[in-house]
Structure 1
């Protein structure tokens, strides 16, 4: 159970009453006259995100009022309750009435207590929540734990989160749930036919590796997760400007979210045969770094011309996807912080996803909306596939021109998937640029909650 939840409080929990512009008059009428007068004198407006503590006759907090959007509002922030842990005085609280989505409000309250305190004291708020009846405590706790794992991994700077450290976290997670673990490291990658992973990581003194673990009954449907684990991305010889390099510790956000998703799957004991593949590398600059216009053979066979060394994520994913595809999984999913084009098109909060499976696309969209984990489908637009053509190799990793960068990246990856029954690619950002309710600034768990909900529907 998550540390924020309290099933047996020592003292009575303070009620939190959710109010909207339309419900406030009715709720105000039920308050004791002194409390109603205090709210009026304080100018409480029931504006979304605004809160007010009402005192009792002895000056203690009798209850808390908290504003939400009206139900007919164009936009509801279903994580609005994530503000509460950061503003409420220490104590134990409960929901006195139902917000728009009680389960998501509880989860938001839990996510709002997250703090990254590895390098300086940063204590979590001293608030507790008595969960409402009907809430699956184990479920919301595992989701909150997984989100914290993803955030911690992304927030950790690259000097402490390189390929070896990422592999250690993955191994610890695998051991916790009894999964079999394997890791191919350094020159063994080239020897065992993972040339693109080896190529991207070979310039760093921190050896590249392919993290690989499997869990679950082999008789169950095969679900394989592939996460981009570029632990720092300089851009390689096509060096990024300093402004673009500043948060490149987050370039392993795909791996972080795949591990968060794997945690949820294994902890919930879903009926799947899970495999997790994470190509973990550092894209560094050195005399042996790969160069623009170099050509390398991929694991699958096609030769790849390097149009840009800063398009390295799709290279390492290509070899990992080719390996995953060899097993013909029922569902193959990859997550990666891949393109700035996705951010230009949809911004940091709305990652695009790609699939040719229409049923899967509908499931993803529905789960994303229900879980308040936004995703938006973009097309695998076949006419753009020709933009990947090379005059001297089978494919170019970064076509010139700059148009449709997220789509052409997805089309590049699609060339390495042909046997999986269904494939889902998500181009995540993995970062919250400015704090929002339940989403502090920094590393973020993106897409994992929605995909987990989809997997529960299929395999729960």
Structure 2
């Protein structure tokens, strides 16, 4: 089997500033007629254009070709307005080069355009976006392109089915990033994994595709230390507590946390931020076989804590536990972990809002600000310490699941805190990693939620 990175993704590139292009004029619904000639207003009204968000009107030139495009913004300040609405344009416009006029945030609009042009075309030829955007004046085109390319890489990983993406292929993606940015990489597997990361080994042992712990490091040693940890479950059957078939349909995305961490790391290294980055990815396939770990088993973790297995389908927190223990030993300035961890978070917040947990009020404020800045939203949930008793075990230090149906996302976050207890600046993201339907800049399919937030946070903290 070839352990290769998924094929190059289809994503548009920004054209150089000054390239001849058709103007796309962004207009608010409240005053869209202002600045247009009488003839332009009359023609736009005749087509039904009203400035509604995401709508277009084509104004013809003397020869009948498109001379100008009107694009409706609706009310950008209204509650619920989509800041990535420009991501609709690549799917609406015919082939050609275009330049934006009047976009409230030209950088966000440019990024939305590129994100909306993404296509996953590994297995069939799709309709690639034919419209290209000229880099707007004042926009850092290289930065926008780097971010979009990193997101596309992460989306490709999530979209790739498990028959073509297992632990070895996730390792290949990490090695590709290491080579691209001159990072060092160490991969632990086999007997060494069983000794050093026993929970990772136990979860992945039943698969024919060996589990491993990926450890990538980059940046000067004297810079602030930041560690990103991503859950890399390439496919989750649920183990012996096997999922019903309907719950398995999207389990190729259970490595979404690893994809987020890889995408964020690509952005950080590409920008050359002044920090010492460590990327940890425990990656496994949670399979069913005679040597699979069982409900009722008691496993010893890297931290020395014993864990009773209340449910084999709560495997993600187990592999993250060993990785977080390693992360904390390095005494980093900040730990961020990313995972598709609980259905409870989706019930509480839906697919668009990842849950975020931290004990650090300053970090919570910075994360919220970074999410708003990057248009990559999250919602903070409480680390309610009294719920920690729900993880009590009569035979081990703790159970991997709670003793009831309540507060599943919170108890999972509390479980993880047991394995990095000394690191106050620890942020845990519980994300869905998938767009159930297409929205501007967010095609249906795999999504690296919180990757752009993490980059904005680190760029704000450690400079660009």
Q: Tell me, yes or no, whether TM beats 0.5.
A: yes
Cα distance in 2 for partners of 1:69, 1:391 equals: 58
Report what 2:5 is aligned to: none
Change (3 A) 1:71 1:247: closer
Shift of 1:37: 2.4
Match of 2:45 among 28, 40, 44: 40
Shift of 1:123: 4.5
Shift of 1:8: 5.5
Report what 1:349 is aligned to: 352
User: How far does the alpha carbon of each residue in 1:66-101 deviate from its partner, in whole angstroms, 9 at most, with x for none?
Assistant: 11122442222010000000010000000122x232
Match of 2:435 among 432, 437, 457: 432
Change (3 A) 1:370 1:42: same
Cα distance in 1 for partners of 2:127, 2:136 equals: 25
Report what 2:7 is aligned to: none
User: How far does the alpha carbon of each residue in 1:258-306 deviate from its partner, in whole angstroms, 9 at most, with x for none?
Assistant: 0000000101111111111100100001111111110001000110000
Report what 2:33 is aligned to: 25
Report what 1:234 is aligned to: 237
Corresponding residue pairs, total: 453
Contact 2:76 2:83 in 1 (8 A): no
Contact 2:12 2:118 in 1 (8 A): no
Contact 1:117 1:123 in 2 (8 A): no
1:142 and 2:157 aligned: no
Shift of 1:39: 1.2
Q: TM-score, normalised by structure 1?
A: 0.96
> Higher mean Cα deviation, 397-406 or 252-261?
397-406
Secondary structure of the structure 1 residue equivalent to 2:185: strand
Report what 1:279 is aligned to: 282
Report what 1:381 is aligned to: 384
Secondary structure of the structure 1 residue equivalent to 2:168: helix
1:6 and 2:10 aligned: no
User: How far does the alpha carbon of each residue in 1:371-398 deviate from its partner, in whole angstroms, 9 at most, with x for none?
Assistant: 1101111011001011010011000001
Secondary structure of the structure 2 residue equivalent to 1:187: helix
Gaps of 5+ in 1: none
Shift of 1:9: 6.3
Secondary structure of the structure 1 residue equivalent to 2:13: coil
1:418 and 2:421 aligned: yes
User: How far does the alpha carbon of each residue in 1:134-161 deviate from its partner, in whole angstroms, 9 at most, with x for none?
Assistant: 1111211111011101100000000111
Contact 1:93 1:127 in 2 (8 A): yes
1:105 and 2:109 aligned: yes
Report what 1:166 is aligned to: 170
**After superposition, where does 1:191-210 map in structure 2 within 5 Å?**
191=195, 193-210=196-213
Report what 2:3 is aligned to: none
Q: TM-score, normalised by structure 2?
A: 0.96
Report what 1:83 is aligned to: 88
Cα distance in 2 for partners of 1:9, 1:87 equals: 23
Contact 1:78 1:100 in 2 (8 A): no
